[in-house]
């Protein structure tokens, strides 16, 4: 029989996580339940759904801190996120459809760490920090170092994800997020990505470009970032497209061919600079 624990505090949760590292950590369950019938039954379930200390959105100085248990619906509806972290609000609106957005959480997207996790390029492009907790204490992991391979992360077996801290882009920085899927809703991304482009007049001072679904993990595309630095916006789109062509080696799979993914990714990155 599977055991079940629903902690009332984060401290209780970390104690349970340390005591039962082989239990399933459950948030909204929208990733976990899809495969539940095809995987061995876990010895226990540690249910974090609606754990108060993980469900919050706070503006703190020049950043917004989002608790791991915050749902995509809550992210999408939050006024400060809509106004100041537009790429995250755009990603939240396209994760699954309303039912998935009502249950799926930021912590779940980060926890699964799929290369097609729609929020993950946003965390990369906006230089987010992930806070994690265990009975040993708390630590902060820069998101660019968090994901170490295909669905592999730095999270230790006794740790839980607490929050993501996302710095607010400066007034000179344009940010966006785009997704290409087979349809408008309930669509797993063929390619998606986020951009933070800092301009001086019409010239690109710097750019942070991150894509998902083009490698085993979400990735920053530094070749594009280098290629556009110092260029007038009008020339940046073509430079970005050219640089991207050799910067990624997408895979063939049931959803798309590598050639299609590369072409779509080139268009997507070029559009970061044109619209
Ligand atoms: C029909 C459908 C459509 C979907 N469409 C999209 C889509 O368009 N884009 C997209 O990105 N995803 C999509 N998903 C996947 C999923 O909804 C998201 O990844 C969601 O954010 C997962 O959140 P959750 O709370 O449901 O995670 P869960 O399923 O509860 O957990 C996912 C993983 O994260 C771990 N985890 C969760 N919280 C924590 C924590 N605090 N600390 C440590 N580990 C934790 C769990 O142990 C598990 O390994 C879809 C899923 C379905 C079923």
For residue 213, is it within any domain? yes
Neighbour count for residue 124 (Cβ, 10 Å): 27
Q: How many helices (H) and strands (E) does the chain have?
A: 11, 14
Alpha carbon of 109 to ligand 1 centroid (Å): 5
Whose structure tokens read 């929050």?
Answer: 163
Residue 28 lies in a domain: no
Last residue of a domain, one of 134, 167, 200: 167
Question: Within a domain: residue 32?
Answer: no
Q: Where do we find the tokens 């204490």?
A: 137
Same domain, 142 and 197: no
Domain count for the chain:
2
- Residue 35: inside a domain: no
Q: Is 16 a member of any domain?
A: no
Specify whether 99 is located in the same domain as 128.
Answer: yes
Is 226 within the bounds of a domain?
yes
Interatomic CA distance for residues 142 and 160, integer angstroms:
15
Which domain CATH number covers 94?
Answer: 3.30.465.10
Confidence at residue 37, expressed as pLDDT on a 0 to 100 scale: 85
Q: Is the CB of 108 under 6 A from ligand 1?
A: yes
pLDDT tens string for the chain (275 positions)?
899 999 999 999 999 999 999 999 999 999 999 988 888 999 999 999 999 999 999 999 999 999 999 999 999 999 999 999 999 999 999 999 999 999 999 999 999 999 999 999 999 999 999 999 999 999 999 999 999 999 999 999 999 999 999 999 999 999 999 998 776 667 777 889 999 999 999 999 999 999 998 999 999 999 999 999 999 998 999 999 999 999 998 878 877 888 999 999 999 999 999 97
Q: What is the dihedral of CA 104, 110, 116, 119, to 10 degrees?
A: 70
Residues in the chain: 275
Which of ligand 1's atoms lies nearest the C-alpha of 26? 30
178 and 162, same domain (yes or no): no
Closest residue to atom 28 of ligand 1, CA basis: 29
Domain that holds residue 141: 54-167
Name which residue sits closest to atom 18 of ligand 1, judged by CA.
109
Q: Domain for residue 158, yes or no?
A: yes
CATH number assigned to the domain comprising residue 188 = 3.30.390.50
9 lines ligand 1 (CB under 6 A): no
Task: Please check whether residues 146 and 247 belong to one and the same domain.
Answer: no
> Could you tell me if 70 and 106 are in contact, meaning their C-beta atoms sit under 8 angstroms apart?
yes
The answer to whether position 94 is within a domain reads yes
And the tokens for 124? 């990369």
Looking at 115, 142, 167, the residue that finishes a domain is 167
CB 256 near ligand 1, within 6 Å: no
Mark whether 105 and 185 lie in a shared domain: no
User: What's the rounded Cα separation, in Å, for the pair 71 and 172?
Assistant: 29
- Kindly state whether residues 129 and 185 are assigned to the same domain: no
Find all residues with CB under 8 Å of 30, minimum gap 6, and list them: 96, 100, 103, 104, 108
């Amino acid at each position: 029989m599977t055991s079940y624990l629903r902690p009332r505090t984060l401290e209780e949760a970390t104690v349970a996580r340390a005591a039962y590292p082989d239990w399933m950590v459950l948030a909204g369950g929208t990733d976990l339940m899809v495969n539940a019938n095809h995987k061995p039954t876990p010895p226990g379930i540690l249910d974090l759904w609606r754990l108060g200390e993980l469900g919050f959105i706070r503006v703190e100085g020049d950043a917004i801190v989002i608790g791991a248990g915050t749902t995509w619906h809550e992210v999408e509806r939050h006024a400060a996120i809509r106004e100041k972290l537009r790429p995250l609000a755009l990603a939240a609106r396209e994760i699954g459809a309303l039912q998935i957005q009502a249950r799926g959480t930021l912590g779940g997207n980060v926890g699964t760490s799929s290369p097609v996790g729609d929020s993950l390029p946003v965390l990369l492009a906006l230089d987010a920090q992930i806070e994690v907790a265990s009975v040993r204490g708390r630590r902060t992991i820069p998101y660019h170092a968090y994901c170490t391979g295909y669905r592999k992360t730095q999270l230790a077996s006794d740790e839980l994800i607490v929050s993501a801290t996302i710095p607010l882009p400066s007034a000179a920085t344009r940010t966006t997020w785009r997704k290409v899927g087979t349809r408008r809703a309930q669509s797993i991304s063929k390619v998606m990505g986020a951009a933070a482009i800092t301009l001086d007049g019409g010239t690109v001072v710097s750019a942070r470009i991150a894509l998902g679904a083009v490698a085993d993990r979400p990735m920053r595309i530094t070749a594009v970032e280098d290629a556009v630095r110092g260029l007038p916006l009008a020339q940046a789109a073509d430079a970005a497209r050219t640089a991207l062509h050799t910067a990624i080696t997408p895979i063939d799979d049931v959803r798309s061919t590598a050639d299609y993914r590369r072409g779509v990714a080139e268009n997507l990155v070029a559009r970061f600079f044109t619209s």
